Amino acid sequence: MLEVKGLSFSYGDFSVEDVCFEVREGEILTLLGPNGSGKTTILKSIYGLLKPKKKCVFVNGKDFHSLSLKERAKLAGYVPQSHHPPFPYTVLDVVVMGLASQLGVFESPRKEHYQKALEKLKLIGMERFKDRPYTQLSGGQLQLVLIARALVQEPKVLLLDEPTAHLDFKNQVKVLGIVKRLAKEEGISAVMTLHDPNLASLYSDRIALVKEGRIRAIGKPNEILREEILEEVYGVPICILEFNGFRLILPRTEVV
């Protein structure tokens, strides 16, 4: 289980304040909100890329930020929005890099490390690309490889920053479907950031609406994704249509 208790971080004239939530095993929590609301700052602060003001992140009861890099790598995996490799490594080599923190300073990956990486590629359906240069993949394939790189650590917590950024509709559905399946089958506590409330509704167990560095509301999608709350968070008129059990969230626009 991931527990976040009173997370706060400031830089410049922006801050996130008193962020609190917990994510159980097999559950997906989505941080949803407009650009600049603080979603990525919260995610980076959880992982430790940014340093919160006090102890506030606990994984299975352990103070996450007090652990060594090696111990943290075994508990949490981080998937950034994008990654631009400086060299055309093979897909398999990129996934093996996820184990770097578990190797000695002068230690090279061994056969068992490559086998472990291949297993994660198989898990997400990317094993056939193992020998392809990483620089020759599509956007959706890149995101899946980054997820495999995080999974090779066998983390208890998976943090994903805008996993659908720059992806077409098909790859958005594919990537989020795999994240949802992995959370359930592997018992991972997943936290991801998204902009699109419709995608958040489909692929989240719970949603935390973020505005100006604070969580405005948190709960199940059908509880949180309501017109008045979304209008307050996004600052635009919202219309929600319901059909055969599905809810479609749209901006309310005037027909010209």
Output the pLDDT for position 106: 65
Would you state the pLDDT for residue 170? 87
Q: Look at the block and give the residue holding tokens 């949803």.
A: 32
Residue bearing tokens 């890329």: 49
- pLDDT on residue 242: 87
What per-residue confidence (pLDDT) applies to 256?
46
Q: How far apart are CA 107 and CA 101, in angstroms?
A: 11
Contact of 133 with 94, CB cutoff 8 Å: no
The token pair at 241 is: 């249509």
CATH number for region 2-82+155-251 = 3.40.50.300
SS3 at position 50: coil
Q: Which one, of 22, 25, 24, lies nearest residue 6 by Cα?
A: 22
Q: Could you tell me which residues are beta bridge partners of residue 246?
A: 243
pTM: 0.89
Strands (E), the chain: 2-11, 14-23, 28-32, 57-59, 62-63, 76-79, 157-161, 189-194, 206-211, 214-219, 238-243, 246-251
Q: Are 21 and 218 in contact (CB under 8 A)?
A: yes
pLDDT attached to residue 138: 83
Per-residue pLDDT of the chain (256 residues; tens, 9 = 90+): 899 999 999 988 899 999 999 999 999 999 999 999 999 999 999 999 999 989 999 999 999 999 988 888 889 999 988 767 677 889 999 999 888 877 766 667 788 889 989 998 988 888 999 999 988 888 888 888 888 998 888 899 999 999 888 888 888 898 899 899 989 998 999 999 998 999 999 999 999 999 999 999 999 999 999 999 999 999 999 999 988 878 899 988 765 4
- Locate the domains of the chain by residue range: 2-82+155-251
